[in-house]
Chains A and B, each alone.
Chain A
């Protein structure tokens, strides 16, 4: 494996780690008090 592909692999792992699916607990731990969850509109279709 060349240095570039090693780096690419490392960066890909880093991004995968930072992109893993959210759990509600994780979000609760990040967002401070004083905020309320806003329900998505019925018509909301994630792109």
Chain B
């Protein structure tokens, strides 16, 4: 593990920080490759899901492998401009649906 990763181990993360990011205000025609291009810079991506219904169009979920990468993405990407729209990048707050 690189020294940076080792040194950040004794950092404390607030509870709302997690690896699933909810993204809003995306252009409707954004492609998966573009999503990987924007979010992949911050760390290994476990999965990306794009909204495909009328209600979810323009939003997406990005799942990172490492919680520090997710935090890094949120810190850098909020307000990022895509096709002159400002991205809204939030930590996912949804409770898990299973019992």
Q: Hey, which bits of chain A sit against chain B, CB under 8 A?
A: 7-8, 11-12, 14-15, 18-19, 21-22, 26-27, 29-41, 44, 46-47
CB pair A34–B51 under 8 Å, yes or no, is yes
Once A30-B96, A31-B20, A44-B36 are accepted as A-B contacts, the answer to whether A36 and B46 lie under 8 Å apart by CB is no
B10 at the interface (CB under 8 A from A): yes
Q: How far is the CB of A24 from chain B (nearest CB, A)?
A: 8
Q: Hey, which bits of chain B sit against chain A, CB under 8 A?
A: 9-13, 18-20, 32-33, 35-36, 40-41, 43-53, 55-56, 60-61, 63, 65-67, 92, 94, 96-98
- The total number of A-B Cβ pairs within 8 Å is 95
